A and B are shown apart, each in its own frame.
Chain A
Amino acid sequence: MAIGRSVPVRDAEARVRGAVAYLADLRLPGMLTAKIVRSPFPHARIRHLDPRPALRIPGVVAILTAEDFNRPGAPRLFYGVDRKDQPVVARDRVRYVGEPVAAIAAETPEAAEEAAQAIEVEYEELPAVFDPLTAAKPEAPRVHEDCPGNVFLHTRLRHGDLEAGFAAADLIVEETYTTPPACHAALEPHGVIAQWADGRLTVWSATQAPFVVQETLAELFGLPREAVRVIVPPLGGGYGGKGYVRLEPLTAVLAWKVGGRPVRLILERSEEFVTLTRHAAWIRIRTGVRRDGTLTARQVEVYWGAGAYADITPRLLRSAGLVRVVGPYRIPAVHVDAYGVYTNLPPAGPFRGTMSFEGAWAYESHMDTIAHALGMDPLELRRRNLLRPGDRFCTGEVIEEAFFWECLEAAARHVGWDQPYEKGEGMRRRGRGLAVMMKSTLPRSRSECRLVLRADGVLELHTGTVEMGQGAHTALAQIAAAETEIPLERVQVIGPDTAQVPYDATTSASRATSMMGAAIREAAARLKEEMRRRAAPLLEVDPEELILQGAGVTLRGRPEVWIAWEEVLRRHGLEALEAHGVFETQGGLDPETGQGIASPHWHQGAGACEVEVDIETGKVRILRYCAAAYAGRVINPALATLQNEGNMVFGLGQALMEQIFFDQGQPLNANMSDYQIPSLRDLPEVLESVLLESPEGSIHGLGEMTLPPVAPAIANAIFDAVGVRIRDLPITPEKIWRALHGE
C-alpha cells in the first residue's frame, strides 16, 4: 500500500544537493532585470515623479509609472482579490514605506539599480497611523480618502443570548491580547518572470495560487483566462506569503511595457518585509463561566490591522476572522465582532496558521487565566468544555469529527501532566502549559486533477498543487498510487502550469492533501471505470465481471486471467487513457450573524510543554514540547511528523522572538540578523509529535494544526512557573523580567 508509508520526499535529494531549479535559476533568452522604486514615507502625496533622468542611463529599457496606465489599451491600475484598492504602482499617493512608485526593466541589475537612484520623486508627507486601534478612531488620519475611520469591513457572529449567558455566569473574565506584524521569512524570496508574445502572457511565479494569479492578470489586462499562462517552479517555502497575488501584476505590466522580452523580478531580503506581513491584531476577549468551569458566554472583539491595502483580509473576515478566534468550546452564547482596519503599514495577509494563531494566542491564554481564577486545573477546565462529536459550534454547525480532547490529552500525557512536579526554588523555575486549537479550512473551494495513464505504464498526475518543500507532490503521488494500485515509482506528478493542469483554488489553508487527495480519488475511480469498460470486450465479458487489481484487470473467480492496464491500452491502440477528478466544498457564513458552514471539516491540534524561566533575566528555555494533531488518516508518517515539528519550530519563533518593528512606519529590522528566527539550537531538548488517526476519518491537512497552540502553551507554562501573564507577543525575556520586577 502506498498510503501510510514514509517514502522520502520526491525531490529531497535534489533540494539538498542544490539541483532543484527554483525560479531564480531560470534563464530565458533576452531576459531583463526588474527593480522596484519604493516609497520612503508611510503616507505622502506624490508631488512630482520624473523618470527621465533614469531613462538616459545605458541599459535601462523601460520604466513603469502610474502614467502608463493612462495610455489607450493599458491594463487597469487597481487590483485586489476582494476590494480593488491596490494600485500596481502608486499614482498620486503612497500609503506605506516600501510601496512601489515605479518599476525599472534593465539589461543588468547594476543599470536597474542606478536607474532606481536616478528617478526623481518629490513627496509631501501626510499624517499617518500605524496601529489598528488608533486607526479605527473616527478622527484618525485616513489611509484611503473613501474610508473614514479606516474600518473597511466589520463582520459579526451572533450565537445565543449573550446577556443571559453572562447573567448565568459566576465569574466574568476580560482580557486583551495583541500580536505584532511578522515576516514569513521563507528561504526563497518572492520572484516572478513575465513575458509577452502575440498578445499572450506567460508568467513564471513562485506563487502558492497559480489560478488566482491567472484570473487576476486576465482581468487586469482584459484578456480571456486562456491568454494568461502561469507556471510554478518548486518553491523554497511559502507559509502563506506567496498566496494570492503579490508581484505578478507589477512584473506583468512592466513586461507589457517592454514588449516581448522576458522581465525578471526577484526581491531582495529587505523587500520581503514590506511585501506582506502577518496582521497586527488587537483582541479583547470576555468570558462568562460558572464555578464548576462551565462556559456560559464569550464575547470577542478583534481589530485586524490589514496595512495599507485590504488584500485578502475582507475574505478572511467573513469567516476565518470570526470563527478562528472563539476556540473549540461548547459555549451557549458567543458574539464576535471583527474589524478590518487600514493602517500605514505594508499589507497583511495569509500567514501559516492564519488568524488561528492570533485567535488561539488570546483564547488559550485566556482559558488559563480563567482556570487560575477558578482554582481549576487548566486541562480539566478544557475537558469540561471542549466540543465533542455531535456538539454545535457557534456557527450553528454540528461538529462530527471532534478529536480536540484526544489531541490535548495526548499532548498533556507526553509531558507527564498528571505526575507530581517540582517547580524549583532557585533562579530557575519550571512550569508546564498546554493549549488546543480549532481551525477552519476554506469553506468554498474547488480542486481538480487529471490522471493520465500512458501506454508505457506511467501514470501522470496533473495537478495545480504547489510543491514548496512540504512534500505535497510526494503525498499526492502516494494517494494516486494507492487509489489506482499502480506502483508509486510509476506515478509522475506534472504541474502546476495553468496551460497543462486543471483548476485548483490554492495551496494553502492546509487543504492540498485533503482536497486534491479527494479529487485524485475521484479521478482514480473514473479511470478504473474506464479501464473496466475497455477491458471487457478484450476478455469477452461484461464490465461487472471484472476486478481491477495491481494495475491490471482480472476475472471474478478466475485469477489466472489477468492483463495489465498497458496491455489494454495497446490492444485498443490508445496512447493514453485520461480521467478527470473534481472535489468541491460548499459553505459560507451569513454576513450579519456568522451562522452557516464555516468549514467542510475542522483542523485540530494541541500542544503541551515544560519550560524553565530564569527569574533574574526573564529568559525562557523550552525543555520539552509535545505537538499533537488530528490527521484523520496519515499518508506519509515521516512527512506528517515533520509538519508537526515544523509547526513547533515556526511557532517557537512567533512566540518568543519574531516581530517586525516599525518606527513611524519605517521597518527597523528588515534583514535576517535583526529579525531573528529560531535556530536548531533553540529547539526543546525533547520534541515529540503525535498524529491521531480514526478508521472512518477523512484525510486532514497537517500544515498548521500544531502551530497556533505553541505560543499560548508556552505563555501558560511561564505563568505556571513564575506567575506572570504576558499578553503581547512575542514573549521576550525583557517583558517577563519587567512583569516579574514590576517595571
Chain B
Amino acid sequence: MRPEVLHPSTLSDALAALAAYGEEARPLAGGTALVLLLHHRLIAPRVLICLEEVRELRGFQFAEEGIRIGAMVRLQELARFPQIRERLPALALACREVGNIRIRNQATLGGNLAEADYASDPPIALMALEAILEVHGPNGPREIPISEFFRGPYTTALEPGELITAVRTPFPPPGSRMTYLKFRTRSAEDRPCLGVAALVAFEDGICRELRIAVGAACETPQRRPEVERLAIGRPLTEVVIRAIAQGYADQIETLNDLRGSAAYRKRMIEVHVRRALEEVRDGHRSFSAGAGC
C-alpha cells in the first residue's frame, strides 16, 4: 500500500495531521532515510506528512547569541552558508562530510537528528556546540538540549506527535576555535567509522573552555566533561592533549560493525581526538583543505 502524502503549509496544520493519524503517520523531510525504510518495508505508514512547505521549519535566523536553524534546512545549505562556515565551522564541516552531494542536497538537519543513526556526522558537531532542539507537539513547544536528545541508536527523546522545528546553536565564546574530523574506513562516501568535534577557547594561551564530542564509534554521540576539564586553566600542551585523547579512548564504550571493531575504534578515538586538539591548538581548519579523513 502506498502511503497517502499530505502537504501542510503551517506548523499547526502539520501537528494537527500528526495528532489525527497518530501511529499511522510519519513526518517526511528530505526522505533520504525514510524512503529507504519504506522501500525495505521496515515501516508501513498510512500517511506521510510532508514538511517541505511548512513555513516555520525553513531558513536561518540570526541573533546576538546564536543561530536558529530551521529543521528543513538542507545539509548542503549548512555546509555552504557563509555565516555558518565562519561562526560554526565544525557544523559546516560535519555537514559537508555527509554521504555525497546528492544526499546532502536532499537531507535535512531535522531529518538527520530525528533518524538518530549512530553513524551520523552533524549530531557530533552539534554536541560540541551545545545545540538546543526546539520541539513542538500536542502539549505545545519544549526545548531539548542535544545531550539529552539521543537515547540510543535510532531512539530519541521525541514523544509521539512531536516535531523538531529548529536547532538553536549558541555562538561559542569569542576567540574559540573548532573543527570536525570524520574518519572513514571504506569509500569516500561512507558514513563515519568515527567522528570527532572539538572546540577550544583560549585566553592568553590558557585553555578556558574545551569541548570534545565523539560519535559514530559508539551508540550515541558523547562528551566526557571530566576529561575535558583536564585542559582547563592550562596551555594545550602535547602532554595534556595526549591525556585527553587517552581519557576519551578509555572512557567511551565503542561498538563493532562492518566499519571497524570496537577495539580498533578505541584506538581511532585516541588518534583523532589528539589530531582534532592539535588542529584547534594550531588554528581553524581552512575550508579549502581536502576531505577530513
Bound CA span A668–B189, Å:
19
By a CB distance below 8 angstroms, the chain B residues around A668 are 258
The stretch of B162-170, B180-188, B204-212, B223-231 in contact with A is B180-188
- The answer to whether B187 touches A682, judged by C-beta atoms less than 8 angstroms apart, is yes
A377 on interface, CB distance cutoff 8 Å? no
Contact among B189, B191, B258 with A681 in the assembled complex (CB-CB below 8 Å): B189
- The answer to whether B187 touches A732, judged by C-beta atoms less than 8 angstroms apart, is no
By a CB distance below 8 angstroms, the chain B residues around A267 are none
Bound CA span A617–B261, Å:
13
**Measured between C-beta atoms, what is the minimum distance from B103 to chain A in Å?**
11
Contact among B188, B260, B268 with A682 in the assembled complex (CB-CB below 8 Å): B188
A676 on interface, CB distance cutoff 8 Å? yes
Flag A503-520 by CB within 8 Å of B: 1 or 0 each.
000000000000000000
Contact among B258, B268, B271 with A674 in the assembled complex (CB-CB below 8 Å): B258
- The answer to whether A681 touches B271, judged by C-beta atoms less than 8 angstroms apart, is no
Decide yes or no: A617 and B187 within 8 Å by CB, A674-B258, A734-B261 being known contacts: no
B5 on interface, CB distance cutoff 8 Å? no
B264 on interface, CB distance cutoff 8 Å? yes
- The answer to whether A679 touches B189, judged by C-beta atoms less than 8 angstroms apart, is yes
B100 on interface, CB distance cutoff 8 Å? yes
Q: How large is the interface on A (under 10, 10 to 19, 20 to 34, 35 or more residues)?
A: 20 to 34
**Measured between C-beta atoms, what is the minimum distance from B288 to chain A in Å?**
16
B43 on interface, CB distance cutoff 8 Å? no
By a CB distance below 8 angstroms, the chain B residues around A743 are 263
Closest chain A residue, CB of each to CB of B293: A619
Closest chain A residue, CB of each to CB of B187: A676
Bound CA span A661–B258, Å:
9
Q: How many A-B residue pairs have CB under 8 A?
A: 50
By a CB distance below 8 angstroms, the chain A residues around B258 are 661, 668-669, 674
**Measured between C-beta atoms, what is the minimum distance from A189 to chain B in Å?**
13
A600 on interface, CB distance cutoff 8 Å? no
Bound CA span A727–B136, Å:
55
Contact among B1, B187, B260, B261 with A657 in the assembled complex (CB-CB below 8 Å): B187
- The answer to whether B100 touches A679, judged by C-beta atoms less than 8 angstroms apart, is yes
- The answer to whether A679 touches B187, judged by C-beta atoms less than 8 angstroms apart, is yes
A110 on interface, CB distance cutoff 8 Å? yes
Q: Is chain A's binding surface mostly helix, strand, loop or mixed?
A: loop
Contact among A270, A679, A734 with B188 in the assembled complex (CB-CB below 8 Å): A679
- The answer to whether A734 touches B1, judged by C-beta atoms less than 8 angstroms apart, is no
A733 on interface, CB distance cutoff 8 Å? yes
Closest chain A residue, CB of each to CB of B268: A617
Flag A85-102 by CB within 8 Å of B: 1 or 0 each.
000000000000000000
Flag A704-743 by CB within 8 Å of B: 1 or 0 each.
0000000000000000000000000000111001100101
Contact among A110, A617, A677 with B1 in the assembled complex (CB-CB below 8 Å): A110
How many interface residues does B have (CB within 8 Å)? 22
A616 on interface, CB distance cutoff 8 Å? yes
B37 on interface, CB distance cutoff 8 Å? no
**Measured between C-beta atoms, what is the minimum distance from B111 to chain A in Å?**
16
**Measured between C-beta atoms, what is the minimum distance from B209 to chain A in Å?**
27
- The answer to whether A657 touches B271, judged by C-beta atoms less than 8 angstroms apart, is no
Bound CA span A743–B1, Å:
51
Contact among B40, B190, B264 with A737 in the assembled complex (CB-CB below 8 Å): B264
A674-689 CB contacts (< 8 Å) to partner B: 674, 676-679, 681-682
- The answer to whether A734 touches B185, judged by C-beta atoms less than 8 angstroms apart, is yes
**Measured between C-beta atoms, what is the minimum distance from A426 to chain B in Å?**
12
B291 on interface, CB distance cutoff 8 Å? yes
Closest chain A residue, CB of each to CB of B193: A733
Bound CA span A90–B186, Å:
36
By a CB distance below 8 angstroms, the chain A residues around B100 are 679
B267 on interface, CB distance cutoff 8 Å? yes
B107-124 CB contacts (< 8 Å) to partner A: none
Of A653, A656, A674, the most chain B CB neighbours within 10 A belong to A674
Decide yes or no: A678 and B187 within 8 Å by CB, A110-B1, A619-B293 being known contacts: yes
Closest chain A residue, CB of each to CB of B183: A617
Decide yes or no: A619 and B1 within 8 Å by CB, A676-B190, A734-B261 being known contacts: no
**Measured between C-beta atoms, what is the minimum distance from A138 to chain B in Å?**
34
Bound CA span A679–B188, Å:
6
A645-691 CB contacts (< 8 Å) to partner B: 653, 656-657, 661, 668-669, 671, 673-674, 676-679, 681-682
By a CB distance below 8 angstroms, the chain B residues around A679 are 100, 187-189
**Measured between C-beta atoms, what is the minimum distance from B63 to chain A in Å?**
36
Closest chain B residue, CB of each to CB of A682: B188
By a CB distance below 8 angstroms, the chain B residues around A617 are 183, 268, 271
Closest chain B residue, CB of each to CB of A733: B185
By a CB distance below 8 angstroms, the chain A residues around B260 are 733-734
Flag B264-276 by CB within 8 Å of A: 1 or 0 each.
1001100100000
- The answer to whether A732 touches B188, judged by C-beta atoms less than 8 angstroms apart, is no
By a CB distance below 8 angstroms, the chain A residues around B183 are 617, 619
Flag A597-625 by CB within 8 Å of B: 1 or 0 each.
00000000000000000001101000000
Contact among A669, A671, A673, A734 with B264 in the assembled complex (CB-CB below 8 Å): A734
Bound CA span A61–B243, Å:
68
Decide yes or no: A619 and B185 within 8 Å by CB, A674-B258, A743-B263 being known contacts: yes
B237-291 CB contacts (< 8 Å) to partner A: 258, 260-261, 263-264, 267-268, 271, 291
Bound CA span A362–B44, Å:
48
By a CB distance below 8 angstroms, the chain B residues around A738 are 264
Of B100, B190, B263, the most chain A CB neighbours within 10 A belong to B190
By a CB distance below 8 angstroms, the chain B residues around A734 are 185, 260-261, 264
**Measured between C-beta atoms, what is the minimum distance from A54 to chain B in Å?**
17
Bound CA span A661–B271, Å:
27
By a CB distance below 8 angstroms, the chain A residues around B40 are 270, 671
Bound CA span A669–B190, Å:
14
By a CB distance below 8 angstroms, the chain A residues around B41 are 113
A518-542 CB contacts (< 8 Å) to partner B: none
Of A113, A734, A741, A743, the most chain B CB neighbours within 10 A belong to A734
- The answer to whether A657 touches B186, judged by C-beta atoms less than 8 angstroms apart, is yes
- The answer to whether B185 touches A681, judged by C-beta atoms less than 8 angstroms apart, is no
- The answer to whether A681 touches B188, judged by C-beta atoms less than 8 angstroms apart, is yes
12 contacts between A and B (CB under 8 A): A110-B1, A113-B41, A616-B271, A617-B271, A677-B187, A679-B188, A679-B189, A681-B187, A681-B291, A682-B188, A734-B185, A737-B267
> Could you tell me which A residues sit within 8 Å of B by CB distance?
110, 113, 270, 616-617, 619, 653, 656-657, 661, 668-669, 671, 673-674, 676-679, 681-682, 732-734, 737-738, 741, 743
Identify 6 new A-B residue pairs, CB closer than 8 A, beyond the known A616-B271, A617-B268, A682-B188.
Answer: A617-B183, A617-B271, A653-B187, A679-B187, A733-B260, A734-B260
The 4 closest A-B pairs by CB, nearest first: A681-B188, A676-B186, A679-B189, A676-B187
